[in-house]
Structure 1
Amino acid sequence: MSISTPGGPERRPTVVSTGKKPAAGRPAATGKPAGAKAGAGKATGPRPGAGGKGRKPVTPVKVNQSRPWGPIALFVAVGLLAVSIVGYGAWATFKGSQPWEERAADIDGVVNYRELDSELVKGANHQAGPIKYEIQPPVAGPHNGSWQNCMGDVYDAPIANEHAVHSLEHGAVWITYRPDLPADQVGKLRERVQGVEKTMLSPYEGQDKPISLQAWGYQLKVDNADDDRIDEFIKTLRINASIEGPTALCNQGITATGTTPRDGAGMQG
């Protein structure tokens, strides 16, 4: 309300502050929008390093898990087995593709008389009567005109060298053993020979090793019938060592035992 004084300008009344807050529901005369607060729009959470009582970060709990060694070991074992099988197959394929002469040379302990004495292994040298052989048991050289039957024959007594050497010329493998060789060892040799064409077995007096294997121009001596080289010798040299070809006969030969040659007996060839 304005107060006018006579002859003077109109004056507005002076507002005196009473120190009281504005009535509820009425905005204070601050020049700011209603409801605005100091620091609005800023983060209200505790500031890093301000010493506030905010929530601490949760440390992950480490779970100590043991490795499944059982399956791992099985997997490794299967892998090694597979590699071994593949490797052996490749090796066997390679060995099978080698010429038989190279495979024979790889047999540990084999003696190749073809290289040592070329005259000895010429063949087709038939002689009647007893023949003296420097190599015992003989592996080649002159021989009787009749061969010893070598169709998987097992002879329980010594046979004539002269007939046996002729069988070697035809591609037979002749296995001999000392007469004192244990029966179970002889039995294992029998199993390798019986029913196998171009093989034969007989005892042999005076040989320096328990077991000796002969093919034309080759010899291998071993101490027992469990030696794997026996099988390798038979596989490699049976038929292959023949100097008369794979069709040379092993049947229709001498079937009798005894060390004296039978001149004129059996087939000639």
Structure 2
Amino acid sequence: MSISTPGGPERRPTVVSTGKKPAAGRPAAADKPSGGKAGAGKGSPRQTAGGKGRKPIAPVKVSQGRAWGPIALFVAVGVLAAGIIGYGAFAAYRGSQPWQERADAIKGVVDYRKKDKALVEGGKHQQGAIKYDILPPVAGPHNAVWQNCMGDVYDAPIANEHAVHSLEHGAVWITYRPDLPADQVAKLKSKVQGKEKTMLSPFDGLDKPISLQAWGFQLKVDNADDSRIDEFIKTLRVNASIEGPAISCAQGVTATGTTPRDLGNQADQPTQ
């Protein structure tokens, strides 16, 4: 093709040659297929020398931790339920035991019925002051008149001779050191007030802050919060009587003082 310019001869385009000839049988660059192997789609796996495709990489599994919260809650509920059932079974078993066995099972209790059978025979009325080897006394000779034990709370010491007669009727007599803190005394009062066949009074010379007596039994503790106090009352009140539950704790001496009142041979009165 020639190009003419005004006023001049025609000029032919200059052809630059690289000096290289295309290889025989080799298609020109413009003739090469753009996708590589014919029919291969975009994203096909690259082949290796063996002609096999690369294996797909397996997805990595992420391990999730156990849900320990619900498991711990389930275990706690199970343990609590087992404890409740176990305690109920134990309480039922304890309730079916004879009261004497339940009394002996109270830690620290002294059973004088086993130690001195003559001491707990009962029925030995005696006037005047009586010397007791066990203090506070738990049994033995006593005055013909009992101390009133209808949940009575005495703010001063009472006569042993009347108190022992109350024990024979099935009362539980709680004594405490006169210097016991007021809050401790208040807790003891709450265990006695309004409960028939119980009474409370201070007692000089105790070797422990609190001492509990029933006919033939004694328990000494250091604190009014001791659970054995309730167990002692529950087990021995009325049960420890050697005269039967019908014997009254009313119409007894209500005065304080350690000197017994010889009011004659007051007969034991059954509950009306």
User: TM-score normalized by structure 2?
Assistant: 0.78
Q: Deviations over 1:151-171 (max 9, x none)?
A: 100000110101000000000
Q: 3-state DSSP class of the match of 1:153?
A: strand
Q: 3-state DSSP class of the match of 1:219?
A: strand
Give, as a single letter, the amino acid of the residue that structure 2 aligns with 1:95. R
Give, as a single letter, the amino acid of the residue that structure 1 aligns with 2:220. K
Give, as a single letter, the amino acid of the residue that structure 2 aligns with 1:136. L
Give, as a single letter, the amino acid of the residue that structure 1 aligns with 2:152. D
Specify the alignment match of 2:155 in structure 1: 156
Q: Deviations over 1:96-154 (max 9, x none)?
A: 11111111111111001000100000001101111111100000000011111101000
Separation in structure 2 between the aligned mates of residue 80 and residue 260 of structure 1, nearest angstrom: 57
Q: 3-state DSSP class of the match of 1:63?
A: coil
Give the C-alpha shift of residue 226 in structure 1: 1.1
Separation in structure 2 between the aligned mates of residue 231 and residue 84 of structure 1, nearest angstrom: 22
Specify the alignment match of 2:249 in structure 1: 250
Q: Deviations over 1:73-114 (max 9, x none)?
A: 111111110111111111111111111111111111100100
Give, as a single letter, the amino acid of the residue that structure 2 aligns with 1:111. V
Q: 3-state DSSP class of the match of 2:69?
A: helix
Q: Deviations over 1:154-207 (max 9, x none)?
A: 000110101000000000000000111111111110010001111000001112
Separation in structure 2 between the aligned mates of residue 166 and residue 232 of structure 1, nearest angstrom: 22
Could you tell which deviates more after superposition, 164-173 or 57-66?
57-66
Unaligned runs of 5+ in 1: 1-49
Give the C-alpha shift of residue 266 in structure 1: 8.8
Q: 3-state DSSP class of the match of 1:256?
A: coil
Q: 3-state DSSP class of the match of 1:157?
A: coil
Specify the alignment match of 1:133 in structure 2: 132
Separation in structure 1 between the aligned mates of residue 69 and residue 249 of structure 2, nearest angstrom: 58
Specify the alignment match of 1:229 in structure 2: 228
Q: Is the 8 A contact 1:160 1:258 kept in 2?
A: yes
Give, as a single letter, the amino acid of the residue that structure 2 aligns with 1:213. L
Could you tell which deviates more after superposition, 132-141 or 52-61?
52-61
- Does structure 1 residue 145 correspond to structure 2 residue 144? yes
Separation in structure 1 between the aligned mates of residue 179 and residue 265 of structure 2, nearest angstrom: 31
Q: 3-state DSSP class of the match of 2:155?
A: coil
How do 1:1-269 and structure 2 match up within 5 A?
51-54=50-53, 56=55, 58-264=57-263, 267-269=266-268
Percent of residue pairs bearing the same amino acid type: 76
Give the C-alpha shift of residue 52 in structure 1: 3.6
Separation in structure 2 between the aligned mates of residue 129 and residue 221 of structure 1, nearest angstrom: 28
Q: Deviations over 1:197-232 (max 9, x none)?
A: 110000011121110000000000111111111111
Give, as a single letter, the amino acid of the residue that structure 2 aligns with 1:173. V
Q: Is the 8 A contact 1:252 1:267 kept in 2?
A: no
Give, as a single letter, the amino acid of the residue that structure 2 aligns with 1:86. I
Give, as a single letter, the amino acid of the residue that structure 1 aligns with 2:58. T
Separation in structure 1 between the aligned mates of residue 152 and residue 51 of structure 2, nearest angstrom: 104
Give, as a single letter, the amino acid of the residue that structure 2 aligns with 1:229. R
Give the C-alpha shift of residue 59 in structure 1: 1.8
Separation in structure 1 between the aligned mates of residue 187 and residue 199 of structure 2, nearest angstrom: 13
Q: 3-state DSSP class of the match of 2:212?
A: strand
Q: 3-state DSSP class of the match of 1:85?
A: helix
Give, as a single letter, the amino acid of the residue that structure 2 aligns with 1:192. K
Separation in structure 2 between the aligned mates of residue 109 and residue 93 of structure 1, nearest angstrom: 23
User: TM-score normalized by structure 1?
Assistant: 0.79
Give the C-alpha shift of residue 248 in structure 1: 1.1
- Change beyond 3 A, Cα 1:266–1:199: farther
Separation in structure 2 between the aligned mates of residue 59 and residue 267 of structure 1, nearest angstrom: 102
Give, as a single letter, the amino acid of the residue that structure 1 aligns with 2:174. I
- Change beyond 3 A, Cα 1:189–1:266: farther
Separation in structure 1 between the aligned mates of residue 265 and residue 258 of structure 2, nearest angstrom: 16
Give the C-alpha shift of residue 57 in structure 1: 5.0
